[in-house]
A and B are shown apart, each in its own frame.
Chain A
Amino acid sequence: MKAFEYLFQFLVFPGFLFSAAVGLLAGWVDRLLTARVQWRKGPPWYQNFADVIKLLFYKETVIPAKVSKVIFLGMPLLALAGATLVSTAILVINASPKASFLGDLIVIVYLLMIPAISLMLGGFASRNPLASLGASREMKLMLSYELPFIIAVLVPVIKSGYAIKLGDIIMSQSVNGHIIGSASGAISFVVMLLCVQAKLGYAPFDIAEAETEIMAGVYIEYSGKALGIFKLVKAVMLFVLPVLMIILYFGGIASDAEGFVRNIFQYILILALIVVIKNTNPRVRVDQAMGFFWGPVTVLAMISVALAYLGW
């Protein structure tokens, strides 16, 4: 029976179906806000669902000649599995902090890299020069944002008494107040927001799929079902990363109605911040992104860790 429960948690709630549906809705909020910023009307709410259903069920999947089918078609699935596993893990742990195990935060940080890595491998496997270019850019971008991301994650760990367990981080926040309220927490939240922007591949860090330079970058050879699955990965990531930030900085998803409404507002706030950053910044070059992340952002992250160590 335990196996069925796990399978249900992974596939339906709070795993794949739930997070993909919320993520696709969040993607619509993103497109709507973008349209409003540009003084347009924007697409209807079901737009992303229509896109994904069309790609998954009604379009042909074209496989380029001489590619390795296992890698080319397996990588979207691996990316989806990684992203879904994160959403399942963090929501299950949030619902019952006892399910947390030692080092689950490290597991989640690793799992969050899987979509980027599989995107990279898929891009290299598709035998297209533009896709290889996009994949190499994705690799450099990953190298640059992972460093400040991991340093920023240390702040909630230090603030909650060196607990590398999501459950303990949530528990300590319900006792000591939210981490965002402290100086170190606020700084590391800003760092985290910038890294999430890069993890989602949104402007100004959409270098890997820059439409005007390298067409669709890593996605260029993907079509039909494989592209639809990559769209689902993007949707799940758009759901997971803000939720992870809520758990690390706003004390997790509350179980009572009032707290839950507050959580929804926090989610929309983070989403709106991401979308506004996306719409007000031009794309940077890959060396600029690296300089930005390894320079000022890493310094900020280190300052926040030092402040957290001093107890601020």
Chain B
Amino acid sequence: MGFKEKILTKSIYAFHVSSGSCNNCDIEILDCLTPRFDLERFGIVLVGSVKHADVLLCTGSTNTLCVPRIKQLYEDMPKPGFVVAWGACGSSRGMFKDSYNTGAPLDEIIPVDIYIPGCPPKPEAVIAGIKKLLDKVNSGK
């Protein structure tokens, strides 16, 4: 693990992409920043602009209207950047798999690095997922 990987894993700016989610996952993202779990102690901050982001947290069932936006956000993100599929819908469209307006799951639209399953994922699951992401960055991808 070199210096670059060390720095990249110590400072993570996360940007929240909601593509038709039911808000549960979005609230769980905020829960992770609350005093009980406090992701800021690992250097994880939620940022307002995708141009600052290192990680896209994608929630929701990726409906057809959102697909071009997700693609554009992924291209706007400065590289190296990572994508987290958040929740059951983000990972696989969940119960909306056969819906008329959810054409493709997230990992067929943009490359996804890790999946955090759950409906919504508990903060413990999120921390475990973040650990997987850090291990992936450390191994040099």
Enumerate chain A interface residues (CB-CB to B < 8 A).
Answer: 31, 35, 38-44, 46-47, 50-51, 53-54, 57-62, 211, 215-216, 219-224, 227
Contact = CB atoms under 8 A, between A and B. Distances in A.
Interface residues of B, number: 21
A59 B38 contact: no
A205 B80 CA distance: 33
Contacts of A60: 78-80
Interface of B: 4, 7-8, 10-11, 35, 38, 40-43, 47-49, 51-52, 54, 76, 78-80
11 contacts: A35-B41, A38-B35, A43-B40, A43-B41, A43-B43, A58-B80, A59-B54, A62-B51, A221-B51, A222-B52, A223-B51
Contacts of A54: 7-8, 10-11, 54
Given A54-B7, A58-B8, A60-B78, A40 B41 contact: yes
A223 B73 CA distance: 14
B78 A44 contact: no
B41 A220 contact: no
B16 to A, nearest CB: 11
A166 B7 CA distance: 41
B7 A222 contact: no
Contacts of A39: 35
Contacts of B7: 50, 53-54, 57-58
Contacts of A216: 47-49, 52
Contact of B48 (A31, A38, A42, A211): A211
Contact of A50 (B10, B38, B41): B10
Contacts of A35: 38, 40-41
